[in-house]
Every structure is written in structure tokens, then in C-alpha cells.
Structure 1
Amino acid sequence: MVLNLKNPLSFFDLETTGTNITNDRIVEFSIIKMMVNGETITKTRKINPTIPIPLETSLIHGIYDEDVKDAPTFKSIAKELAKFLEGSDLAGFNILRFDVPILVEEFLRAGVDFEVTNRKLIDAQKIFHLMEKRNLSAAYKFYCNKELKDAHSAEADTKATLEVLESQVKKYEGQTVSDMRGNEIGVIKNDMAILHELTSSKMVDLAGRLILNDQGEEVFNFGKHKNRKISEVFKKEPSYYEWMMNGDFPLDTKRKLTEIKLRGFQR
């Protein structure tokens, strides 16, 4: 099917130094600009982010400091890129939550006016989630081929979840599971310890503010210290603990923080 376009449509994806829209930087962009006549123009370029790329991020996208040391900065190509995207609508996967905001931040830092309010923004992930529901009713239909009656009734939902899990184990037993980065993390087995490892093992607190990294170390999962070891943050910035304890965080999160802090004193 040929897309019906009234304006050029630029599909784009960004690789960055991390996931913090305010502090992280672009290290590579790729754009496929589809013209109204169906012609496509592809532009891909590595960018020197002017800040170090964390190793854990490089391991995901394969771009290291050495790869971008001689690349242009975003500021140096910002006007050229804005010109390339002039008059074009934007499309991508998960662009509304991440790619568009970080792209706009880069343009603002470069002092280049890049307005998105007059563009159409098309997010394929949103369409995916709208059309392929990921709620319990959809899971019950998919795995058990049944309609969930009395949805949101506690008993009906609980019974459906039991049947869904049974069907999932039956369907996937013996299959390898990979994370979002393509790394193999285990195999589905009819073993609750293994299912726990696959679904919950990285959690430190129930709110997901604190998690375990790939090395099994407790790290922050939000804010300015995202992906940094909690114990190291507390050593260098003790006031951060007080800020969180006085902040609007769940009691479970505060309890886990205190356990980590006390553990550091005992060493």
C-alpha cells in the first residue's frame, strides 16, 4: 500500500547517550523522508554528543565514544537538518514519548527554531497499542480463545489470569526469552522460580524506582541519577537520600532506600 501523503513524511529514529530527555544527547540519527510522489531520501549520520556515552548504553546500540569522536556536533549540523525536515511531518515508533522531545531539545540547545506544533506526528507504537490491546481481556482471548465476561470483577479477572498463565506456560514452555535489547535472559519453564526470574527479578522496590542492573547492582531507575548505583550516589550526595525520604515516594521505596543506606554503614 502506498501512503496517502499531502506533505513529505519523515520516518526517523535516534540513538542517544541515554533516556533522559533533558540531559542526554543524540549520537546517531537516521531519517527516511518520503516525498508526496513516493520517492524516498535517506539520511543517516553519527553525531558527537560532546558528553561521554555510558558503557551500558553503548552495549545496547553499539556506538562508543571512539566511533563519534570525529563526528560533527548536533549544533554544527542543526540548521542543515532543520532545512531537510522543513515542511515535513514526522513518523516513527515511540517518537511521542522520546524521539521528538529529545530532538526538539537538541534544536533548542543549538539555537535553531524547530517547531512541531504545525506538523503531523504519527507514532506507529500508539497505533499498535490502540489496535492490539494488551489488557487482560485481550490476553484471555488470545491465549484461551474465550471472551472475558464480567471484566473488572475481581473474581472473574482472577480466574481469567489463572487460565492465561496456564495457557502461556503450555504455549511457550521450552522457548527462549529475549529482552528488548535482544539479549537472551532465560527459557520459559513450568517452574515458578524461573517465571519469577523472568518477570520480577530486577525489581528492588514495588514502584520500579529502584532496580537491579545487569551486574545485579541496585541502581536508580529515574531522575538525574538514573542507572547510577544507589550506594555510590548516597556516598557522593547524602542529601539525595533525605530528599527522597521527605518526598512523595511510596513507603516501600523509602524502606528499601533505608535498607540500602544502612547496609552501606555496616560495611
Structure 2
Amino acid sequence: MELKLDRPIVFFDLETTGISFSEDRIVDVALLKRHPDGHEEIFESLVNPGISIPSEATAIHHITNEMVRDAPTFRVLAPKLLELFDGSDVGGFGVSRFDLPMIAGEFKRNGFLWSTEGRRVIDAMKIFHRMEPRTLGAALKFYCSKSLEGAHRASADAKASAEVFWAQLDRYPALPKDLPGLHEFCTSMDLKFVDPEGKFVWSKDNKACFNFGKYKLVPIETVAKRDPSYLMWLAGEKRSSTEVIDICTNALRGRYPDKKG
């Protein structure tokens, strides 16, 4: 579908030394400016952050200190970026939560005025989350390529639930192969969540643990000490909630969730 624009829109993305808006810096910036007549301008540049890039960050975006050593600083790039943003709306994937506050902070630190005031912000991640529901019908379509007929009638929903389950067993070989194992897999999700997203749960001894992936039920503190790049990866995921990002950031600094009561 062709969208009629009444002014340009700039889609942009950043790579950084980390996820702290106050302490971390931009190391890579890319902008795509779409004009109302359809033509596009693309600008991208590595950025010398003025601080060392942590190895955990390099493991995610593969940008090294050597690569940015001779790159322009943000202060040098700022006039060009302001020119591209001028009179434009802004967009991107997850920009509302990370890219916009990060770049606004960089402009401010370097003595330039820039904000989203008067701009329309289009976040493709928010559209994705609202338009791709997590319902039984959506699951049947995803796993079985079928449409749910007679939704919200018990017989149709029961049949669809069973079909989804059998299809999940085929799709995910790592799932337990017996009912006791599947029971444990499912009920472990009912542990009290540390965050609203359910990425972390409290263990029986009140330690915050991962609730997914290769470190499922492993304490955050253990992962922070043994594999900090995993926390960096999760915090850098644009789908991660603010709460998850905060938990990861604090853990990388030696501060871990404390269960009250």
C-alpha cells in the first residue's frame, strides 16, 4: 500500500556502546529519509564515541574500537543529522523506547537542540505487536496453516488446541518427549514473575532467574558473571520491555532484583 506523505519521514537506527542513556554513546547511525514524491536519501556513518566499546557490545553489533578510531564524532555529524531530520516525522523499529531518547541525549550533550516535539513518531514494533495477536486462532494459523472455524465454541477450541499442541511437538524438537517433562516445562511458567513480560522468575530461594533460553532457571547473577554478553544481547533486543532492559542493565553493574516480602 502506498502511503501519502504530507512531509518527509526519517527511519533511523542506532548501534551503541550499551543501553544507558546517560553513560553510553552511539557508534553507528543510519537514516533513510523518504520524501512525499517517493525518492529516498540514505545516510550512514560509524561514530567515534569517545569511550571504549565494551566487548559485550562488540559481540552484538560487531563494531570494534579499531573501526571507529578514525570515524567522525557525533558532534561533527550532528549538523548533517539535523539537516536530514529537519521538517520530518520519524520512524523505526523500537525507536520510542531506545533510539529516540538515545539520540536526543547525544544531541543535548553536544550542545544541539533536537526533540520529537511537533513530529509524528511511527514505531513499526508497536504496529507489529498490535497487529499480530497471540490467540488460539493465530496459533492455529501459525502452526497448522489453518483458520479457526467456530471460534469460542468449546468443541472447535478443544480440537484446535490439540492440533496446535501436536504441531508444536513437531516444530520444537527440544521440547520434553514425555508428559512429566512437558508438565514441568509448562508449570515452570507459573512461577512468580520478576517482570511483567515473564522473562525472569523467582526461584524457591528467592533468586531472580531466567525463564527462557539456554539459561532457563539459572540465576541472573550467575549469568552476569559467567556470560555478560547474554544480558547485553537481551537488553539490546528491541522487543525487550523497559523492565527487562532495566534488570539487565542493573545486573551488568552488579545490582540484582531483590524480592520484597
Write out per-residue CA displacement over residues 178-226 of structure 1, whole angstroms, 9 at most, x where no aligned residue: xxxxxxxxxx4554779969935425578xx657259457979755982
Q: Give the unaligned 5+ runs of structure 1.
A: 152-156, 175-187, 234-239, 252-267
Confirm whether residue 39 of structure 1 aligns to residue 50 of structure 2.
no
Determine if contact 1:11/1:31 at 8 Å carries over to the other structure. Answer: yes
Write out per-residue CA displacement over residues 218-248 of structure 1, whole angstroms, 9 at most, x where no aligned residue: 9797559827667xx4xxxxxx68xx65xxx
Question: Which of 142, 152, 155 in structure 2 is aligned with 1:149?
Answer: 152
Letter in 2 for 1:96: S
SS at match of 2:21: coil
Determine if contact 1:202/1:213 at 8 Å carries over to the other structure. Answer: no
Letter in 2 for 1:59: A
Structure 1: how far apart are the matches of 2:158 and 2:114?
Answer: 49
Alpha-carbon shift at residue 28 of structure 1 (Å): 0.5
SS at match of 1:226: helix
Structure 2: how far apart are the matches of 1:158 and 1:83?
Answer: 57
Letter in 1 for 2:2: V
Write out per-residue CA displacement over residues 83-109 of structure 1, whole angstroms, 9 at most, x where no aligned residue: 221001111111111111111111111
Question: Which of 188, 212, 215 in structure 2 is aligned with 1:202?
Answer: 215
* 1:129-168 mapped onto 2 (5 Å cutoff): 129-135=129-135, 138-140=138-140, 142-143=142-143, 145=146, 146=148, 149=152, 164-168=164-168
Write out per-residue CA displacement over residues 138-185 of structure 1, whole angstroms, 9 at most, x where no aligned residue: 33554365476389xxxxx99987764442122x145xxxxxxxxxxx
Q: RCO greater where, 1 or 2, for CA within 8 Å and sep 6 or more?
A: 2
Letter in 2 for 1:226: T
Structure 2: how far apart are the matches of 1:54 and 1:22?
Answer: 16
Structure 2: how far apart are the matches of 1:115 and 1:226?
Answer: 25
- Please report the TM-score for the alignment, with normalisation by the length of structure 2: 0.67
SS at match of 1:143: helix
Letter in 2 for 1:87: G
- Please report the TM-score for the alignment, with normalisation by the length of structure 1: 0.65
Determine if contact 2:48/2:69 at 8 Å carries over to the other structure. Answer: yes
Alpha carbons of 1:203 and 1:44: their partners in 2 closer, same or farther (altered >3 Å)? same
Letter in 2 for 1:91: G
Alpha carbons of 1:214 and 1:39: their partners in 2 closer, same or farther (altered >3 Å)? farther
Determine if contact 1:203/1:211 at 8 Å carries over to the other structure. Answer: no
Alpha carbons of 1:160 and 1:2: their partners in 2 closer, same or farther (altered >3 Å)? closer
Alpha carbons of 1:135 and 1:64: their partners in 2 closer, same or farther (altered >3 Å)? farther
* 1:30-69 mapped onto 2 (5 Å cutoff): 30-69=30-69
SS at match of 1:41: strand
Alpha carbons of 1:97 and 1:222: their partners in 2 closer, same or farther (altered >3 Å)? closer
**Identity %, equivalent residues:** 35
Letter in 2 for 1:23: E
Q: Give the unaligned 5+ runs of structure 2.
A: 186-209, 233-243
Question: Which of 249, 253, 259 in structure 2 is aligned with 1:226?
Answer: 249
Alpha-carbon shift at residue 119 of structure 1 (Å): 0.6
Structure 2: how far apart are the matches of 1:229 and 1:37?
Answer: 46
Determine if contact 1:173/1:190 at 8 Å carries over to the other structure. Answer: no
Alpha carbons of 1:81 and 1:222: their partners in 2 closer, same or farther (altered >3 Å)? closer
Q: 1:257 — aligned with what?
A: none
* 1:247-258 mapped onto 2 (5 Å cutoff): 249-250=259-260
Alpha-carbon shift at residue 129 of structure 1 (Å): 1.2
Alpha carbons of 1:4 and 1:58: their partners in 2 closer, same or farther (altered >3 Å)? same
Alpha carbons of 1:224 and 1:23: their partners in 2 closer, same or farther (altered >3 Å)? farther
Alpha-carbon shift at residue 3 of structure 1 (Å): 2.9
Alpha carbons of 1:150 and 1:108: their partners in 2 closer, same or farther (altered >3 Å)? farther
Alpha carbons of 1:3 and 1:54: their partners in 2 closer, same or farther (altered >3 Å)? same
